Amino acid sequence: MTPREAILGKIKSQIAADPNDAGRRAAVANRLSNAPRGVIPKRGQLPPAKKKDLFCTKAESVQATVDRVTSYDAAAKAVSQYLRGRNLPQSVRMGQDQRLESIDWAKTPSLSTDTGPSDGGQPVGLSHAAYGVAETGSLIMTSGSENPTTLNFLPESHIVIIHSKDIVGDYETAHANIRKHYGKGRMPRTVNMITGPSRSADIEQKLLLGAHGPRSLHIIVVDD
Amino acid sequence: MKITTPEFKSNAVDALANENLQKAMGHVQVGFIEKRKLAADGLPEFEALRDNARDIKDHTLAHLDLYLEAYSEKVEESGGHVHWAQTAEDARNIVLDICRNAGAKTVTKGKSMISEEIGINAFLENNGIAPIETDLGEYIIQLRGEAPSHIIAPAVHVLKEQVEEDFRAEHTHLDIDRNLEEPETLLDEARTVLRQKFIDADVGITGANFLVAETGTSVIVTNEGNGDLTQTLPKVHIVLASLEKITPTLEDVSQILRVLARSATGQEQSVYTTFSTGPRRETDVDGPQEYHVVLLDNGRTNMIGTEFQEMLRCIRCGACMNHCPVYHAIGGHAYGWVYPGPMGAVLTPSLEGVEKGGNLPNASTFCGRCESVCPMRIPLPKMMRHWREREFERGLNPVTQRWGLKVWAWFARRPRIYAMGARYAMRAVAMLAGRKGSLTSMPMAGGWTKYRDLPAPEGKTFQQQWQAKGGS
């Protein structure tokens, strides 16, 4: 008997499962295919403009900073201004996300950009979020060459651009959107739900920012 | 890991006399409780979510075999591997094989209680592979050669001055005159030292908060980002998870996430919730080339279908210990194994046997705070009582205790004699106490009167008062 058979057999005998299992199998198939949404907090169920406001407020409440711009081209300038305000180098590493590539970075000549994952040598990472979740100000990032996962974690500072139409009220809606995009039962290699910059309270319960991930998280909401 | 639970009583006495520990435990009592309350009160649906979280896990446990089958099929479909481990030893050997196949010299680790349960660090070291803990708290206790004393705040028993000593002893390549007085500078130093280790590691080991049957995904929930660096940078990612981590769908995970962080740290959401499915894809430019899940049983299937099944709903948030007066007094190490506090008092005898773990269910005042804050509504006091019953049935508790209970039972079954005895005993104690109204010592209660006076009973017995009120 393989370990797998032993473990599954043990569970069946402890449950005293009916050998043909038809009812239990139907219950499992039903839940997996219908994925009931459960209890959804009212706080995120808002009209789009208010949803966006809640997202920004919640993100700021967990020490992210938020900027709002009216076009992708304006986002380039916002990135540069943010870096200057923080005394950070005018240099960002990003992935091949089409929305980021559509920006005319040359219009902001002080800022240099390059493309690829991070190997730890880049001070600033720039990504585009797949979704934002208003109820807790969380960003949903999906892996791939468009937005490499290492950019979310290795640079000291992380800047994330998000389009206001991608802000949803609750986690369940974000998951439903991912499912629609990638197909039922499929996921990108990594989905990162990010709520504020890295932190730790492991020394005497004192909360400090910048443990191993980025010390700062700056979100730019594009509303065009 | 060696279990010292049978020595619980002397462990607890030592803990009460340990000044550093007592100082450090003060931080637990203040922070966690207030933060959890604020977070729970801030979400009107919190109680309804607790109900639903309980129902989701109950449904999952009733269909666990089928969800495990569905989950493992999905993992394989996404290019990952599932390894089934019946015992801790099986799990250790599986991990070692994967590390050897990868030619691993160093292994970075995200925080994982399963890795503590199977004692993987010592095992890898004995086999020439260096494990490096990367969660700040885990890193601190690894340097100290200790076990975690809390399931989400492993170094909660350590003072910052002790961390400074440990860092100075370990990081000898750094300037000897550097200032390490504040937690900020200690954190910065750990960040710098560990950064290169993340990049150099051959294998990254993480735990899992959830395994999603719908998609074959493992989920970790962290604040530091160390778990993500651990699983993204090396060429091999190993997930260590016990089989009750299975959750049917992404929606079900979302429901439980809403009660997890709020109950644990009082955050509305932890900083990083990461969903991992299989190894790096063709369209990826980073991420591991291999993805392995080690599914551990280690005694959990024995709990299914028994009065201890509900314990398998536990999501390891730590709220029960954060609210436990016994845990506050003695810290986590006195419990003697991996899991402390009320959840440990139920789980330790379940996994390690009541012979070794039987002391723990007795380390409770049954005040009920643990159950009242448990996000999964696990009836912890009821299950501790079940263990006490089993311990008594098997004659495992001390002779004096058994004899005392027998004497009490003899009286309890004879109400008239009991009432009379109580009246006389009350008068006798009151007389001994004299005008002061309290006793500074009392035979057979020396442990109690050593720290406080025993107030003498006044007035009438409960039964007399009850009768006077017309109760029956």
Let me know whether B445 and B325 are in one domain: no
Residue B191 forms part of a structural domain: no
For residues B390 and B403, membership in a common domain is answered with no
Q: Please report residues of B whose CB lies closer than 8 A to that of A14.
A: 301-302, 304-306
Domain assignment present for B190: no
- Interface contact A189-B277, CB threshold 8 A: yes
Q: Does B150 score more than 70 pLDDT?
A: yes
Residue B160 resides in a domain: no
Residues B89 and B228 in one domain: yes
Interchain proximity A149–B232, CB inside 8 Å: yes
Contact A204 B251 (CB under 8 A): no
Tokens of B291: 């993805």
Residue B367 lies in a domain: yes
Which CATH number characterizes residue B71's domain? 3.40.50.10420
Instruction: Please indicate, yes or no, whether residues B122 and B207 belong to a single structural domain of this protein.
Output: yes
Compute the distance between CA of residue A53 and CA of residue A61 in angstroms, rounded to an integer: 12
* Domain count for chain B: 3
Residues B346 and B285 in one domain: no
| Cβ of residue A181 closer than 8 Å to a chain B Cβ | no
Mean pLDDT of all residues in B170-194: 95
B392 with B452, same domain?
no
Q: Is the dihedral of CA B162, B165, B170, B171 positive or negative?
A: positive
Residue A200 is nearest to which of B187, B232, B274, comparing CB atoms?
B187
B272 and B213 within one domain: yes
Among residues B381, B397, B413, the one where a domain terminates is B397
pLDDT digits (tens, 9 = 90+) for B368-422: 999 999 999 999 999 999 999 998 888 888 888 888 888 989 999 998 999 888 8
What is this model's ipTM?
0.98
Chain A interface mutation, best of B92, B223, B268, highest count of A Cβ atoms under 10 Å: B223
Of B266, B301, B336, the residue at which a domain comes to its end is B301
B161 within domain boundaries? no
- The answer to whether residue B91 sits within a structural domain is yes
Q: Are residues B260 and B390 in the same domain?
A: no
Asked whether the beta carbons of residue A201 and residue B140 sit closer than 8 angstroms, the reply is no
Domain span at B77:
43-133+199-301
DSSP state of B83: E
Residue type, B452: R
In a domain, B167, yes or no: no
Distance to chain A for B229, nearest Cα, Å: 7
Position B8 in a domain: yes
Residue-wise pLDDT for A66-118, tens only, equals 999 999 999 999 999 999 999 999 999 999 999 999 999 999 999 999 999 99
In chain B, DSSP finds a helix count (H) and a strand count (E) of 22, 12
Q: What is the pLDDT of residues A24-54, one digit of tens each?
A: 999 999 999 999 999 999 999 999 999 999 9
Q: For A87, phi and psi rounded to 5 degrees?
A: 60, 40
Residues B98 and B226 in one domain: yes
| Better-predicted residue by pLDDT, B428 or B367 | B367
- Label residue B472 by pLDDT band (50, 70, 90): low
Binding-face residues of A in 62-91 toward B, CB within 8 A: 62
Contact with chain B for residue A127, Cβ under 8 A: no
Mark whether B228 and B291 lie in a shared domain: yes
Chain A residue closest in CA terms to B181: A203
| d(C-alpha A147, C-alpha A141), whole Å | 8
Claim to verify: residue B346 and residue B253 sit in the same structural domain: no
**Which of B397, B423, B455 represents a domain boundary (last residue)?**
B397
Classify residue B278 by its DSSP letter: S
Condensed to tens digits (0 to 9), the pLDDT of residues A178-196 reads 999 999 999 999 999 999 9
Among B138, B285, B307, most A C-beta atoms within 10 A, so best to mutate, is B285
Contact: A14, B271; criterion CB under 8 Å: no
Asked if residue B208 and residue B289 are part of one domain, the reply reads yes
> Which is it for strands B210-212 and B203-206: parallel, antiparallel or unpaired?
unpaired
Q: Which two tokens stand for residue B362?
A: 């007795």
